[in-house]
Each structure stands twice: as C-alpha cells, then as structure tokens.
Amino acid sequence: MNAEELRSLKVDRVVDARGVACPGPLLEAKRSIPAVPLHGVMDVISSDEGTTEDVPLWAKKVGHEYLGTLAEPGLWHVYVRRGK
C-alpha cells in the first residue's frame, strides 16, 4: 500500500510500543493481535527502526498481512491486517 492508502486505513487497534527496545514491539504486536477483529488492521507505533523489519517478518511467518510502514520523525507506524 502507498502512503495515502495507509493513511486512509481504518485502524482497529493502535499498539503504542514507543520507547520500548527489541524485542518489545514484536512481543506487543503478538500480544495485541488477538484483540484485533479478523481482517482488521493493527497499527504498531515504534521508536525502534528495527520494528519495521521485525513486524513484517513476524506477520508473514504467523499468517497476517503486512500492509506497509509510515515513517514520522523518530517513529514508525507499521500496519498489519489480521489474517487468522
């Protein structure tokens, strides 16, 4: 998805993992996904750039869809659609 599409997504759950270091944001994402409705969207906010790799890899591995990342100064929004 491009930035515009990502911005217009209806987000079902925001996971604020700012200030948490690896593997914190990944664990937060894993903990939070059950609370997202099936095919719903989760926005993982992280101040750790590594999250922009970790969360997509995790999503692919466990059966969710990585939608894209929006970068802001010092933080990243990583969007995942719950797949199962």
Partner 1 sequence: MSGGATEVHELGFDHGVGRAASRTEEAEPQPSGLSMVVFSGDLDKVLAAMIIVNGAAAMDLPVSVFFTFWGLNVLRREHPANAEGKKTMIEGMFSRMMPRGAAHLQLSTLKMAGLGTRIMKREMSKKHVSSLQELLRSAQEQGVRFIACTMSMDLMGIRKEELIDGIHFGNVASFVDAADRSRISLFI
The three-state secondary structure class of 31 is helix
**Is the CB of 6 or the CB of 26 nearer to partner 1?**
26
**Is the CB of 62 or the CB of 71 nearer to partner 1?**
62
Catalytic residue of the set 14, 21, 22, 57:
22
- Residues 5-64 close enough to bind partner 1 by CB under 8 A: 19-24, 26-27, 29-30, 54, 57-58, 61-62
Q: Which long-range contacts (CB under 8 A, 24 or more apart) does 58-61 make?
A: 58/26, 58/29, 58/30, 59/83
Return the ∠ at Cα 75 (arms to 70 and 76), rounded to 5°: 30
**Is the CB of 14 or the CB of 22 nearer to partner 1?**
22
Q: Report, as residue numbers or ranges, the catalytic residues.
A: 22
